[in-house]
């Protein structure tokens, strides 16, 4: 008996998932370990930058008024009354026709309102210099707060911490940073045809590549993978493994066993553990048999055993939920537009996701398939950095058309990519 | 006395560095830890994929000749003589008008040369089915080697391992993967004005943000950072720290102390340890005082203490050498073209690198400054994902011009981005 399943559109399937309650957790980690993590709080400037008026150059701090009559022919002579290295202070008050030697970054001494660069001064003796032109009030002074005012939001919650964000966190004294805890994502590979990576291939068998691929996809998405091993297509053993795994992880991803064949036990297991099935067929290629279900607060994903369908199913459905657990503000793959690099003459009855690679031609993005695009095909996956989205319809697509692509190597994401997919009929 | 330095063009500075001998090392790591690492050997297909003729669907394997007279009105009846789950084998030979129930992925039994999908058959009894149309020889059979032929190079040495590459490695039985060892990059921050991230700010001081920023930049580039702490501007202490650090790391990055001021001790230290200076001034903004030197096989980089100049100097000069140690094939930041999102009316006497952010407008890339672009300014760094490259010249640049940009969040890189920089004068 072939079970009848009704395919739901991709956007509807993602919607059913992304409206599920997923409670992300946060933790404090040392700043030097924060690169690549997702920030769990807005970061404010805790003080002005610069925190004080300072010199952007090596030179002499003076009173601007004293330079007003200086010229090439009639230089003005100043008495050098002190020296300020970066990080030190001049404690006195500078008086008329006095100058203080100042280093880049050092605070402007009281009384001074201009800095004259070293190369525009002439050393007369150990404590005398000459200046040969006038400087206006404020010349060569970096003003307190001119970069950033105290209280400004610098980095938003939900952002992936990059080196620039680390610099900001250090500047404002964040020795520890509040980040999202990486959710634990379990992996179970099912299929009696699977041998593990270190086992010899015997007739009729294939190697278990999905589990290792999923480990990497989970890491790329920001989660932490826990691999529970591979299982033969045996109901009791699979049921037991699923139950056990669910006690240890936040989400469970099962590869294989999701279809309607005699050896596909995932539907029966979901029934047995009283999971609520959100969808079990999606109007897309590859990956139409993708299943998602909830048991309490935990999510279970049933992905196709086929490597390409597994890959696509993960990125469209599992990744956004990992991002949600990570408190990211944009859960979905980043959608941009690109020019189609090749023809797709066949119309698609369902929305199609073509594993593709982006290239740049002048200022335009071009997307072309990264290899053969049969869903069984693994050899193109290594080159894949995006999916071309080809909506269903009665006509094919032509080279040069503008299409939507979903970026796979991107931390920014999209809020909701599933409206207004480019149809691109000429 | 202000030391005279002659600025070298950026491309020449990078050339002097990248022709230095850097010996990368390799190591074997478990496949499940390989994501994001750089592959140190070409990966070949160790067998055909599929490794045998197999069924892409659930259905019945038959002899195509037996279906030739089948039609809606005159279906042909087949005797079901066996069943093959994925991973199992049918050992007999299938005879005329016999069929074998076959699961997706299972090997085609001897004698059969077509598969009829389950939904196109009619079950008559437990061991009889009817087929109502003809199938050609080879219908619905995935042929051995049709995805990948044994011996094909699948992933090239020098590639960053992504989830698709992991799938390929698993498919071909790579339990362990040969990857480049992450080079150890030391960091020393100098400057008496620096207080550490957990110390209170006192008058005239700023927080040491460069060291933490560099840790993240080193990680992003694929290296491993070792932070040796911050030092006051004292010659003896700095010299001792540099000597000690060099015994422990592959490259050493020093932030601050590289200029020609009274407290800039890096030049004297390089002289003392008999380093060969490759350059100590570059025709660029920011970061003109960037220094690079060699001592034996070790590289020393002196980057400006100014956060933005330090950031740019790292990406242009240190990153390619980390990539070289990682055996990457494309050492430099990936160069692409984009439309300028804003005017730059002031001409640049030197090549300028503007910290910028890319956005997408239809199929075009647009690059606009990520914030204020004074070199002292840290607040824009969090948003930065590329540099706009503005070559020196006598005219400014206008919004809408096509310019080169260097991508900062990219693993692919460029072989040599420094020729044919877009000048973009209208």
Provide the CATH number for the domain around residue B156.
3.90.105.10
Is residue B136, in this structure, part of any structural domain at all?
A: no
Cα A77 from Cα A56, distance rounded (Å):
23
The answer to whether the CB atoms of B49 and A220 lie below 8 A apart is no
Instruction: Residue A103: list chain B partners with CB under 8 A.
Output: 261-263
A321 and A347 housed in the same domain: no
B190 and B282 housed in the same domain: yes
Picking from A169, A339, A363, the nearest residue to B338 by CB comes out as A363
Q: What is the pLDDT of residue A379?
A: 72
A90 and A42 housed in the same domain: no
Picking from A2, A192, A365, the nearest residue to B88 by CB comes out as A192
B186 and B307 housed in the same domain: yes
The answer to whether the CB atoms of A173 and B197 lie below 8 A apart is yes
Chain A residue nearest residue B59, CA to CA: A261
With beta carbons less than 8 A apart as the criterion, state whether A130 and A76 touch: yes
A118 and A159 housed in the same domain: no
Instruction: Residue B207: list chain A partners with CB under 8 A.
Output: 170-173
Q: How many CB pairs under 8 A join A and B?
A: 325
Q: What is the pLDDT of residue A288?
A: 92
Closest approach of A323 to chain B, Cα-based (Å): 17
Phi/psi at B17 (nearest 5 deg)?
Answer: -75, -50
Comparing C-alpha atoms, which of A197, A212, A205 is closest to residue A232? A205
Instruction: Please report the residues numbered 92 through 111 in chain B whose beta carbons come closer than 8 angstroms to any beta carbon of chain A.
Output: 103-107
Domain that residue B359 falls in:
334-407
Burial of B200 (0-12, 13-18, 19+ CB in 10 A): exposed
Q: What CATH number did the domain enclosing A363 receive?
A: 2.40.340.10
Closest approach of A351 to chain B, Cα-based (Å): 20
- Mean pLDDT, each 10-residue run in order, chain B (426 residues): 79 96 95 96 90 91 96 95 87 94 90 94 94 95 90 89 95 96 97 91 90 98 97 93 97 90 86 97 94 96 94 98 95 96 91 94 92 63 93 92 95 91 65
Q: What CATH number did the domain enclosing A76 receive?
A: 2.170.190.11
Q: What is the pLDDT of residue B406?
A: 97
The answer to whether the CB atoms of A193 and B85 lie below 8 A apart is yes
CA dist list (Å): A123 to A6, A63, A65, B414? 87, 18, 20, 48
Per the rule left: phi > 0, alpha: psi between -120 and 50, beta: everything else, A13 is alpha
Picking from A85, A355, A362, the nearest residue to B402 by CB comes out as A362
Chain B residue nearest residue A170, CA to CA: B209
Cα A177 from Cα A170, distance rounded (Å):
10
Picking from B105, B376, B384, the nearest residue to A56 by CB comes out as B376
Q: What CATH number did the domain enclosing A310 receive?
A: 3.40.980.10
B150 and B272 housed in the same domain: no
Q: Is A359 on the interface with B (CB under 8 A)?
A: no
- pLDDT grade, residue A236 (50/70/90)? very high
- Give the tokens for residue A393: 């319809």
Which residues 6+ apart lie within 8 Å of A269 measured at CB?
A: A235, A238, A239, A242
Is residue B255, in this structure, part of any structural domain at all?
A: yes
A151 and A199 housed in the same domain: no
Burial of A416 (0-12, 13-18, 19+ CB in 10 A): middle
Last residue of a domain, which of B325, B347, B376? B325
Is residue B3, in this structure, part of any structural domain at all?
A: no
Is residue A244, in this structure, part of any structural domain at all?
A: yes
Cis peptide before B420 (omega within 30 of 0): no
B74 and B169 housed in the same domain: no
A142 DSSP assignment: B
Closest approach of B310 to chain A, Cα-based (Å): 11
B176 and B32 housed in the same domain: yes
Cα B280 from Cα B269, distance rounded (Å):
13
Chain A residue nearest residue B169, CA to CA: A209
Percent of chain A at pLDDT > 90 equals: 76
Q: Is A420 on the interface with B (CB under 8 A)?
A: no
Instruction: Residue A363: list chain B partners with CB under 8 A.
Output: 337-339, 364-365, 402
Q: Is A142 on the interface with B (CB under 8 A)?
A: yes
Q: What is the pLDDT of residue A329?
A: 87
Q: Is A90 on the interface with B (CB under 8 A)?
A: no
Instruction: Please report the residues numbered 271 through 300 in chain B whose beta carbons come closer than 8 angstroms to any beta carbon of chain A.
Output: none
Picking from B147, B232, B363, the nearest residue to A339 by CB comes out as B363
Q: What is the pLDDT of residue B268?
A: 94
Comparing C-alpha atoms, which of B210, B213, B193 is closest to residue B202? B193
Last residue of a domain, which of A284, A304, A325? A325
Picking from B119, B167, B364, the nearest residue to A307 by CB comes out as B167
Is residue B359, in this structure, part of any structural domain at all?
A: yes
B208 and B269 housed in the same domain: yes
Last residue of a domain, which of A325, A347, A371? A325
Length of chain A: 426
Is residue A140, in this structure, part of any structural domain at all?
A: no
Q: What is the pLDDT of residue B56?
A: 87
B99 and B154 housed in the same domain: no
Is residue B424, in this structure, part of any structural domain at all?
A: no
The answer to whether the CB atoms of A204 and B88 lie below 8 A apart is yes
Length of chain B: 426
Instruction: Residue A261: list chain B partners with CB under 8 A.
Output: 58, 103-104
Is residue B414, in this structure, part of any structural domain at all?
A: no
Q: Is B364 on the interface with A (CB under 8 A)?
A: yes
Does residue A1 carry a pLDDT above 50?
no
B170 and B229 housed in the same domain: no
Average pLDDT, chain A: 92
- DSSP annotation string for A226-260: EEEEEE-S-HHHHHHHHHHHHTT-SEEEEES--SS
Picking from B172, B197, B201, the nearest residue to A31 by CB comes out as B197
Cα B276 from Cα B279, distance rounded (Å):
9
Number of domains comprising chain A:
4
Chain B residue nearest residue A409, CA to CA: B410
Instruction: Please report the residues numbered 54 through 83 in chain B whose beta carbons come closer than 8 angstroms to any beta carbon of chain A.
Output: 56, 58
Q: Parallel, antiparallel, or unpaired for β B26-30 and B176-180?
A: antiparallel
Collapse the DSSP code of A383 into the 3-class scheme (helix H, G, I; strand E, B; otherwise coil) and give the result: helix
Q: What is the pLDDT of residue A370?
A: 87
């Amino acid at each position: 008996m072939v079970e009848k399943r009704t395919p739901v559109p991709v956007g509807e399937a993602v919607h059913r998932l992304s409206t599920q309650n997923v409670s992300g957790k946060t933790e404090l980690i040392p700043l030097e370990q924060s690169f690549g993590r997702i920030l769990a709080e807005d970061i404010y400037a805790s003080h002005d930058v610069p925190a004080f008026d300072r010199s952007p150059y090596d030179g002499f701090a003076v009173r601007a008024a004293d330079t007003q009559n200086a010229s090439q022919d009639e230089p003005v002579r100043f008495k050098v009354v002190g020296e300020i290295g970066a990080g030190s202070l001049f404690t006195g008050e500078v008086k008329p026709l006095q100058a203080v030697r100042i280093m880049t970054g050092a605070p402007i001494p009281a009384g001074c309102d201009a800095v004259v660069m070293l190369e525009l001064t002439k050393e007369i003796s150990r404590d005398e210099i000459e200046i040969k032109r006038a400087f206006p009030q404020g010349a060569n002074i970096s003003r307190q707060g001119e970069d950033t005012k105290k209280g400004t939001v610098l980095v938003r919650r939900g952002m992936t911490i990059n080196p620039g964000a680390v610099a900001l966190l250090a500047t404002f004294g964040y020795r520890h940073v509040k980040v999202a805890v990486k959710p634990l994502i379990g992996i179970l590979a099912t299929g009696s045809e699977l041998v593990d990576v270190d086992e010899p291939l015997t007739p009729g068998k294939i190697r278990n590549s999905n589990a290792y691929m999923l480990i990497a996809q989970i890491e790329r998405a920001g989660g932490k993978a826990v691999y529970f091993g591979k299982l033969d297509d045996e109901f009791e053993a699979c049921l037991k493994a699923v139950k056990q795994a669910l006690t240890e992880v936040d989400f469970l991803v099962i590869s294989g066993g999701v279809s309607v064949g005699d050896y596909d036990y995932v539907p029966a297991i979901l029934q047995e553990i009283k999971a609520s099935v959100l969808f079990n067929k999606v109007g897309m290629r590859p990956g139409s048999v993708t299943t998602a279900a909830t048991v309490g607060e935990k999510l279970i994903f049933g992905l196709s055993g086929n490597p390409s369908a597994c890959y696509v199913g993960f990125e469209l459905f599992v990744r956004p939920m990992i991002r949600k657990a990570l408190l990211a503000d944009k859960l979905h793959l980043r959608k941009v537009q690109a020019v189609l690099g090749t023809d797709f003459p066949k119309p698609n009855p369902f929305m199609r996701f073509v594993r593709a690679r982006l290239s740049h031609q002048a200022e335009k993005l071009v997307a072309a398939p990264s290899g053969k695009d049969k869903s069984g095909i693994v050899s193109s996956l290594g080159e894949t950095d995006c999916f071309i989205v080809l909506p269903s319809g009665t006509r094919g697509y032509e080279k040069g058309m503008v299409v939507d692509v979903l970026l796979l190597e991107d931390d920014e994401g999209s809020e909701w990519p599933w409206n207004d997919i480019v149809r691109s009929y000429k």
